[in-house]
Amino acid sequence: MAAILQVRPITDVPEGRRASAKPSDPAFYQNPYPFYTERNTTTPAFFWEEYGHWCFADFQSVSALLRDRRFGRDILHVATRDEIGLPDLKPHTADFDLTEKYSLLNLEPPAHSRLRTLVHRAFVSRQVEQLRPRIADLANELIDGFESQGEVELITAFAAPIPAIVIAEMIGLPAEMAPQLLDWSNRMVRMYMYAVTHETELDANRAAAEFTEYLRSVIGERRKRPREDLLSHMIAAEQGGERLSDDEVLSTAILLLNAGHEATVHTTGNAVKAILESGFDPRSLFTSPEQTEATVEEAMRFDAPLHMFTRYALTDTEIDGISLRKGDVIGLMLGAANRDPKRFLNPNTYDPFRTDCAHVSFGAGLHFCIGAPLARLELQIALQTLFERLPKLHLTAKPHYRDAYHFHGLDRLDVGW
């Protein structure tokens, strides 16, 4: 989830391979796709001035590098902080850093393999499919709550509650905690924005401390009285005679809660926007399970919820004529890869009937999103239910994306029917 930052300056960059775009500039984060098109047309492997590291925008490179074991999310298993110039952790973000310490998203084997094996069972498709009735009931209940109003802000009223409640209940937390979980999560993920301020760090750390305190109490309760939930499973799971520590359970639960709703919220909002702006009759997009699936997959390609995923070079290496040192960062531009004109016909057009749909929005390789089956199911059910219940759905205001480049999602989505 988090971006990792280049710590050693890179100076030997040919002028023709440099590019500049400020991630916090509204003109950019409202529509980064012209920048992506230019990169893919001219220099798909380029040095992004504002980030200070190399980035890759084309589908082939991003897909390959996500699977390339010369690169990883962690570096400290192969190097010391002094060796690569990585600064010490900040005392005022200690609680936040603890939640990241054992995060599946940041670990490398063998620690990653051990944790993922213990959690994976809950997220395989056959397990997730059992949640279909609950997701459908939840979508209908939410629509029941606002249908008579004739208009609503859809992110708050519909897109956000579904994944937050579903993942909370999977883990073993009460549905009524969803608003608080969303608050903690939203404050924590601001740490992944470009040019984070000291105030943001302090607030994210407070959120992490509150989140941690709450979960520790629930973990303690589950150790005494296990239930049929993922938290109890993680506490009881054993591999090679080892069990997860409280800190490992804590990190994993927070990752699953944060990642389990954040991207799905954005994809739901982005998808509704894309469908309503596409000119297609929404009734034609959900006529069969296959077409519903295609509609969702195209939405994830067209306007991905996560636009950059970073990796460390684990050894000195070379990619596309670029010399990288151990500890250098590369940015894998998922949103750009999904719009690569070399891979997709008319890539900047939302076409739920396209035959060349594929995307890297869930990543690939070792860190492929463990929650992909759940996210797909939630999106398929939520979008189909929404457009079946509200066939006259339309935008009532121009949608605007929030200032969080990596997490590409709408601030609000005002609709009527």
pLDDT tens digits along 119-137: 877 787 778 899 999 999 9
Domain ranges of the chain: 15-360+372-416
Q: What is the pLDDT of residue 404?
A: 85
Six token digits for residue 315: 């050894």
- The confidence band for 6, taking pLDDT boundaries of 50, 70 and 90, is confident
Six token digits for residue 362: 């869930």
What's the burial of 318, exposed, middle or buried (CB within 10 Å: 0-12/13-18/19+)? exposed
Give the contacts of 61 (CB within 8 A, at least 6 positions apart). 44, 45, 319, 320, 337
Residue 344 has pLDDT above 90, yes or no: yes
C-alpha radius of gyration, the chain, whole number: 21
Residue for token pair 């399970």: 289
Q: What is the pLDDT of residue 240?
A: 67
pTM of the predicted protein model: 0.93
* Digit-coded pLDDT (tens) for 26-43: 999 999 999 999 999 999
Mean pLDDT score across all residues of the chain: 92
Residue 188 has pLDDT above 60, yes or no: yes
Question: Can you tell me the distance from the alpha carbon of 19 to that of 31, in angstroms, rounded to the nearest whole number?
Answer: 16
Q: Which ranges of 107-197 would DSSP assign to H, the alpha helix?
A: 111-120, 125-128, 132-146, 154, 161-171, 178-189
User: How many Cβ atoms from other residues are within 10 Å of residue 342's Cβ?
Assistant: 11
- The confidence band for 1, taking pLDDT boundaries of 50, 70 and 90, is very low
64 in Cβ contact with 53 (< 8 Å): no
* Digit-coded pLDDT (tens) for 270-318: 999 999 999 999 999 999 999 999 999 999 999 999 999 999 999 999 9
Residue for token pair 């499919």: 129
Residue 88 DSSP one-character state: P
| Number of Cα atoms under 13 Å in the Cβ half of residue 268 | 34
Residue for token pair 């993920």: 189
Give the contacts of 147 (CB within 8 A, at least 6 positions apart). 389, 390
Average pLDDT over residues 383-394: 97
29 in Cβ contact with 403 (< 8 Å): yes
Domain 15-360+372-416 belongs in CATH node 3.90.226.10: no
Q: What is the pLDDT of residue 3?
A: 59
| Number of Cα atoms under 13 Å in the Cβ half of residue 278 | 24
Residue 410 has pLDDT above 80, yes or no: yes
- Supply angle C-alpha 180, 183, 187, rounded to 5: 145
* Digit-coded pLDDT (tens) for 347-366: 999 999 999 889 999 999 98
Average pLDDT over residues 129-157: 97
